[in-house]
């Protein structure tokens, strides 16, 4: 986990589309910040993603996963490309890594930044964070499609703290094709993310955790999530108030008042959706950083995907990836180095109105130009 005498090995999957473009800039920022606390970084780079898969048929070999497990941390650009059917690589690489390393937290801050125009006017600034459960819910990969009215799905998987076994056998009459996907939330899974949400709120000096739910429509799955999270918070964090807001309503409230929330505790699927909404409200996908955090290897990746629509044009905004670098350094207890990157990003944006901004904010600064300017300010 920790570096040896200030030396850190970072496993890197640049991935697909704009992934390699933004990761190059994140590495520049981390390299520049290494002067702050006299650290050094060795990058163990892996080719996994669409072109590697198309060329070799290989998705994510177990030997590489073992090796990654020995790194101090991991950076990932984005996975997914129109040349490969959706799900193969996203599940086979990204979700597999989150699950294998039991990265149960997906931490996704949404911040207003200088000169980044917000689409919705707000009185204050956005400073909120999605604490997304990252190993359960509809993401477990337990599903199937039937052509003949019958499905038998083996419900077998292992997580850090439990093993699941059994089958789901379903018959549909009259026979017709159908699909089923099983979602599971466990007490251990909900409690650990609720605890993390409380700790996050405490560190932020706040007294409220907003639980994003949908217990009115799915009382088993989300009623359980809501009740378990509330009980944990009442028991372990009695100073914290746990409010519940349905996911549909939170989307409405967020658009009307993006600066009204602090910690949003979400089940996996809602956390995915709400974090894109938050990114949009804060001004753009290109500044939304995130971390997949667990007790073992943690992996830092922007909220955004591979953006095939702008890949190769130089128009990608690397700030999200650069801020992932800062999150990674903070995770490695390099607070001053992390702050140096964050300050450089803020100063760059504050001092570069108009053409100096990334294309995403109607400027003309290319991905590499933004990265060079930020690195130069660290
Ligand atoms: P996306 O996030 O890639 O793109 C959504 C929109 O945001 C696009 O218009 C894109 O141009 C823009 N955008 C994203 N990042 C940007 C940046 N840094 N700067 C400027 N604009 C940016 O979402 P999508 O289109 O749904 O997905 C594309 C592919 O990425 C799919 O294969 C999807 O599965 C995958 N994906 C991967 C991850 C990941 O690896 N973490 C996350 C989301 C999506
Ligand atoms: C994200 C992505 C992934 C997710 C996809 C690519 C599987 O959208 O990291 O937000 O849904 O978690
Ligand atoms: Mn997403």
Q: Is the CB of 80 under 6 A from ligand 2?
A: yes
Can you point out the beta strands (E) in 155-309?
A: 157-159, 162-164, 167-171, 178-184, 208-213, 241-246, 263-266, 291-293, 299-300
78 - beta bridge partners?
Answer: 15
Assess if residue 18 is contained within a domain.
Answer: yes
Assess if residue 110 is contained within a domain.
Answer: no
pLDDT average, residue stretch 158-171: 91
Q: Do residue 240 and residue 147 come from a single domain?
A: no
Q: Do residue 344 and residue 299 come from a single domain?
A: yes
Q: Do residue 343 and residue 257 come from a single domain?
A: no
pLDDT average, residue stretch 231-250: 97
| Residue 187 confidence class, pLDDT cut points 50, 70, 90 | very high
Please indicate, yes or no, whether the overall pTM of this predicted structure exceeds 0.95: yes
- Cα–Cα dist 145/176, whole Å: 11
Assess if residue 314 is contained within a domain.
Answer: yes
- Cα–Cα dist 42/144, whole Å: 41
What percent of the chain is predicted at pLDDT more than 70? Answer: 99
> What spacing in Å lies between the alpha carbon of 304 and ligand 3's midpoint?
7
Residue 269: how many other CB atoms lie within 10 Å = 19
pLDDT average, residue stretch 118-147: 95
Interval 264-292: pLDDT, tens: 999 999 999 999 999 999 999 999 999 99
Domain containing 245 — which CATH number? Answer: 3.40.50
Interval 135-148: pLDDT, tens: 999 999 999 999 99
Assess if residue 108 is contained within a domain.
Answer: no
Q: Is the CB of 290 under 6 A from ligand 2?
A: no
133, 137, 97: which is closest to 299 by C-alpha?
A: 97
Q: What is the number of domains present in the chain? A: 3
Name the H helices within 237-267: 247-256
Q: Do residue 127 and residue 221 come from a single domain?
A: yes
Residue nearest to atom 43 of ligand 1 (CA): 305
Q: What is the mean pLDDT of the chain?
A: 96
Identify the domain containing residue 212 by its residue range.
Answer: 118-136+185-282
Q: Do residue 6 and residue 96 come from a single domain?
A: yes
Q: Is the CB of 316 under 6 A from ligand 1?
A: yes
Contact 78, 45 (CB under 8 A): no
Q: Is the CB of 133 under 6 A from ligand 2?
A: no
Domain containing 20 — which CATH number? Answer: 3.40.718.10
Ligand number, closest to the Cα atom of 81:
1
Assess if residue 70 is contained within a domain.
Answer: yes
Does 100 have pLDDT greater than 70?
yes
Q: Do residue 211 and residue 178 come from a single domain?
A: no
Assess if residue 353 is contained within a domain.
Answer: yes
- Cα–Cα dist 377/106, whole Å: 29
Q: Do residue 359 and residue 300 come from a single domain?
A: yes
Q: Do residue 312 and residue 357 come from a single domain?
A: yes
Per-residue model confidence (pLDDT) at position 160: 82
pLDDT average, residue stretch 101-119: 97
- Cα–Cα dist 270/273, whole Å: 5
**What pairing do the DSSP bridges indicate for beta strands 167-171 and 150-154?**
antiparallel
> What spacing in Å lies between the alpha carbon of 309 and ligand 1's midpoint?
9
């Amino acid at each position: 986990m920790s570096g040896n005498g200030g030396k850190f090995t970072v496993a890197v999957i640049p991935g697909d589309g704009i992934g390699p473009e933004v990761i190059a800039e994140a590495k520049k920022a981390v390299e520049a910040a290494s002067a702050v606390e006299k650290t050094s970084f060795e990058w163990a780079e892996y080719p996994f993603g669409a072109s590697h898969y198309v060329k070799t048929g290989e998705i994510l070999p177990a030997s590489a996963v073992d090796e990654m497990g020995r790194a101090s941390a991991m950076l990932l650009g984005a996975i997914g490309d129109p040349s490969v059917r959706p799900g193969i690589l996203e599940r086979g690489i990204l979700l597999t890594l989150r699950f294998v390393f039991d990265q149960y937290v997906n931490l996704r801050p949404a911040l207003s930044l200088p000169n980044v125009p917000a689409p919705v006017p707000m009185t204050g600034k956005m400073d909120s964070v999605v604490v997304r459960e990252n190993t359960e819910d509809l993401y477990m990969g337990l599903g199937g499609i039937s052509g003949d009215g019958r499905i038998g799905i083996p419900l077998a998987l292992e997580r850090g703290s439990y093993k699941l076994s059994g089958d789901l056998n379903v018959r549909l009459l009259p026979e017709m094709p159908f699909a089923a996907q099983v979602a599971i939330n466990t007490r251990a899974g909900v409690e650990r993310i609720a605890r993390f949400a409380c700790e996050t709120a405490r560190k932020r000096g706040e007294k409220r955790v907003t639980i994003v739910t949908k217990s009115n429509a799915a009382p088993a799955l989300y009623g359980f999530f809501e009740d378990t999270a509330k009980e944990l918070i009442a028991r372990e964090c009695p100073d914290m108030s746990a409010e519940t807001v349905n996911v549909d309503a939170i989307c409405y409230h967020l658009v009307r008042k993006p600066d009204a929330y602090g910690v949003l505790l979400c089940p996996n699927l809602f956390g995915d959706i709400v974090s894109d909404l938050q990114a949009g409200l804060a001004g753009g996908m290109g500044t939304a950083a995130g971390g997949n955090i667990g007790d073992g290897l943690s992996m830092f990746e922007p909220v955004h995907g591979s953006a095939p629509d702008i890949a190769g044009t130089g128009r990608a905004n690397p700030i999200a990836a650069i801020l992932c670098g800062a999150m990674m350094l903070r995770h490695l207890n390099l607070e001053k180095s992390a702050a140096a990157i964050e300050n450089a990003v803020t100063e760059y944006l504050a001092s570069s109105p108009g053409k100096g901004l990334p294309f995403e904010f109607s400027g003309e600064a290319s991905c590499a130009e933004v990265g060079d300017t930020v690195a130069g300010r660290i």
